[in-house]
Amino acid sequence: MQSHHELVLRAASEYGTVLFSGFSIQTGEEWASILYKTGLKEMNYIGGAAVRRLIVGNEKTMTNVQVLTTNESPPSEPIPLHHELA
């Protein structure tokens, strides 16, 4: 990750997003550490249709990296379309 730092920053600036894949990440804490090291500005999760659970971070401040579950709804519930387009 560190060897591609400039590439990550350039992609985030050009495309507004970066897809990280191929990492052997086991915990939310590991993922938060990787995100923090990018130096990119964090965004808090504010509302939405999905039921989510905070794994890492602080709900009250914007100074911590936040890691949330994708969707805690039961399988019987539909996933709102905006999730598919995110």
Residue 78: which domain range? Answer: 2-85
Query: What are 14's two structure tokens?
Result: 């050009």
pTM of the predicted protein model: 0.58
Q: Name the domain count of the chain.
A: 1
Q: Which residues contact 45 (CB under 8 A, 6 or more apart)?
A: 52, 66, 68
pLDDT for residue 14:
93
Among residues of the chain, what percentage have pLDDT more than 70?
77
Q: Taking residues 20-46, what's their average pLDDT?
A: 80
For the stretch 56-82, pLDDT in tens is 876 655 456 778 888 888 889 887 676
Q: How far apart are CA 13 and CA 85, in angstroms?
A: 20
Do 18 and 12 form a contact (C-beta atoms < 8 A)? yes
